[in-house]
Amino acid sequence: MPVRSRSARLVLGVALATLVTGSVPAYGTTATTSAPRVFRVGTWNGIAGDQPSIEAAVAAAGPGDWILVGPGDYHPRMDYAGPQRSPNAPAGVLITTPGLHLRGMDRTDVVIDGTRPGAAPCSPDPADQDYGIPDASGKPSGRNGVEALLTSGVTFENFTVCNFLSGSAGSGNEIWWNGGDDSGRIGLGAWWGSFLSATSTFYDPGNPGSAAQYGLFVSNSDGPGSMTDTYASNFSDSGYYIGACGDCNAVIDRGHAEFNALGYSGTNSGGHLLVQNSEFDDNQDGFDTNSQNSADPPSPQDGTCPNGETGPTGTRSCWVFRNNYVHDNNNPDVPGVGVAGSGPVGTGISLAGARNDTVVHNRFVNNGSWAVLTTVFPDTAPASSSNVPDCRGGVLGGSAFGVTVPCLYDVWGNEIADNTFSGNGGFGNPTNGDLADLSLPPAESPGAPGDCFHGNTGTGGVPATSWPLTLQITQGTCGWPVYPDPASDAVLAAEVGCATQALFPCPPNLPAAAYPRRGTVVMPALPRQPTMPDPCAGVPVSNPWCPDAVTAASAAGSPRGIADRRPAVVFIAAGPNSSGARRRRRGGSGGPR
């Protein structure tokens, strides 16, 4: 079913209830009758806080409390001492208190730093890096930065996290809402993040697996959740990640990802998921969502609206990528390991083994291979034991284009509509350009509708370029089981294979398949990002740093705890008249070094 006209479109609204207009319902715990407390770390405007460290504040805080952090370069080490010491959840700041609100007073100058205590802020010096506590075999477990573990209602705002490196324990995640990594189950509900920056300055070419993996990471959560005004750079998997959620109920708004293997990665993430008003540039692959058997179950990735709902574009798709700027994703000189490291260089957005997603009203500029690529996903890695049954939603032992893999995910039902394109396909290989569809009639869903492409235009309003050449004609109507011809598929499969080298090395010196390869990895410095206009906004209790804060909880008689007055994220199907869806800083005063 194609995207409808603007006047008839249903819009997925994001209602961000302010701290003075409403409360978030309790997340399955009993609230108390006292107001939230506000703890302060460091110094702000010459006034000292009341806690010696972020770790101490986290230990003192209860459900619904707030922690404000003054400017400083903090090196938290909860993973090294006390009850938090664990190679299974090795986080510098580990939060297991529901509804906790952690906010910096300045986005750039409040730094939560994974390097060793005493190092310069986010130091790139190898001697300053901290690889975490040893695991049972003596290998470094790596570290996560700020992590909410199996805990709902946690808010992170207005700070920077850097240089938490990867190791043996699923680590290397700077900011993580963790609902149970690779468990195949939902273990976390609501989450919220805004005015956050995540980066890494360190890469060891002799040990690429130690590179920081993810910037802003959400896994195994059914929300509602939202991140706004965020930035992520220099990650070996992805700047942003939302995965392992059949109905994610999540929003990314005004995000910016650059210099990553993947700007965004979303494995097995579907249902209500909206990415809008964001920028993806100078990554190897700007944006990728995929089905996968070997990680973050349950598979597959499917953007179909639950329960027969109508999505934000008037179709049955609730996974929407809209109003984004995707450009110059031609950068092989980024950190990259594993599946993410073989993302197709020069691609703006890739939908790999994806189903029923919508890509609409975006601008794609100067992506050297393909601006938009829809493709099958051949998973060659060992299956996750949590993905039951094996190859769930895919073809066990499937074959495509002469290659048999342990699990094959076909791609179908995606709608690519009303996007604009300029300067894409600059690598000049056959099939390179604006649109490309590498798909087959799916063995796992006979008769399923193919991907459809319509209303996509290039400079001057001419039709976007495509492979097959007549893609917007032969597959211009949604809902029909129409797929590319085998000859076109064969040519595109060879080109995608050469761009990724995931299944085979590209023949050397082949002029028809020239794609840039990784040379010297470059880790650009983090640019200063806009800070929260008023870091005291919404703080529920008057305190020495925010003396004008309204004690909203006491005034309204609402309970302290999980029902704190934090922003809520609500998905709304608006009426017809609504408008239109894995993976350098200045030091401040105060705070541990």
pLDDT at residue 82, rounded to an integer = 65
pLDDT at residue 563, rounded to an integer = 34
User: What are the structure tokens assigned to 537, written together?
Assistant: 């906004």
DSSP 420-434: EEES--TT--TT-EE
Strand-pair partners of 252: 227, 275
Predicted confidence band of residue 412 (pLDDT cuts 50, 70, 90): very high
Between CA 328 and CA 15 the distance in angstroms is 32
pLDDT at residue 569, rounded to an integer = 36
The two counts, helices (H) then strands (E), for the chain are: 5, 38
CB 182 within 8 A of CB 154: no
Q: Which residue has the higher pLDDT, 150 or 566?
A: 150
pLDDT at residue 86, rounded to an integer = 56
CA 344 to chain centre: 18
User: What are the structure tokens assigned to 399, written together?
Assistant: 């074959």
pLDDT at residue 506, rounded to an integer = 79
How many residues are present in the chain?
593
User: What are the structure tokens assigned to 582, written together?
Assistant: 């894995």
Within 10 Å of residue 43's Cβ, how many Cβ atoms?
18
> Mind listing the pLDDT tens digit for each residue in 66-101?
999 999 999 999 999 866 555 566 899 999 999 999
> Mind listing the pLDDT tens digit for each residue in 265-306?
999 999 999 999 999 999 999 999 999 999 999 999 999 999
Give the range among 146-160, 397-411, 435-449 with minimum mean pLDDT: 397-411
Give the range among 217-221, 230-234, 378-382 with minimum mean pLDDT: 378-382
> Mind listing the pLDDT tens digit for each residue in 178-218?
999 999 999 999 999 999 999 999 999 999 999 999 999 99
pLDDT at residue 511, rounded to an integer = 66
Listed residue (433, 435, 427) closest to 499, CA to CA: 427
Does the pLDDT value for residue 575 go beyond 70?
no
pLDDT at residue 326, rounded to an integer = 99
In angstroms, what CA-CA distances link 251 with 191, 241, 338? 11, 12, 26
Q: Which residue has the higher pLDDT, 11 or 285?
A: 285
Q: Which amino acid belongs to residue 23? A: S
pLDDT at residue 33, rounded to an integer = 52
pLDDT at residue 298, rounded to an integer = 97
Give the range among 204-218, 394-408, 415-429 with minimum mean pLDDT: 394-408
Burial 75-105 (b: 16+ CB within 10 A, else e): bbbbbeeeebeebebbbbbbbebbbbbbbbb
DSSP 305-367: PGGG---TTSSSB-EEEES-EEE------S---HHHHTS-TTEEEEEES-BSEEEES-EEE--
**Residue by residue, what is the 3-state secondary structure of 156-224?**
EEEEEEECCCCCCCCCCEEEEEECCCCCCCCCECCEEEEEEEEECCCCCCCCHHHCCCEEEEEECECCC
Give the range among 174-178, 224-228, 454-458, 504-508 with minimum mean pLDDT: 504-508
Q: Which residue has the higher pLDDT, 286 or 569?
A: 286
pLDDT at residue 50, rounded to an integer = 97
pLDDT at residue 261, rounded to an integer = 97
Does the pLDDT value for residue 129 go beyond 50?
yes
Stated pTM of the model: 0.89
Predicted confidence band of residue 505 (pLDDT cuts 50, 70, 90): confident
Q: What is the CA radius of gyration of the chain?
A: 23
Residue ranges per structural domain of the chain: 14-203+223-234+539-580+582-593, 245-253+263-522
Between CA 116 and CA 127 the distance in angstroms is 9
Predicted confidence band of residue 169 (pLDDT cuts 50, 70, 90): confident
> Mind listing the pLDDT tens digit for each residue in 332-363?
999 998 777 778 999 999 999 999 999 999 99
pLDDT at residue 411, rounded to an integer = 98
User: What are the structure tokens assigned to 435, written together?
Assistant: 């649109």
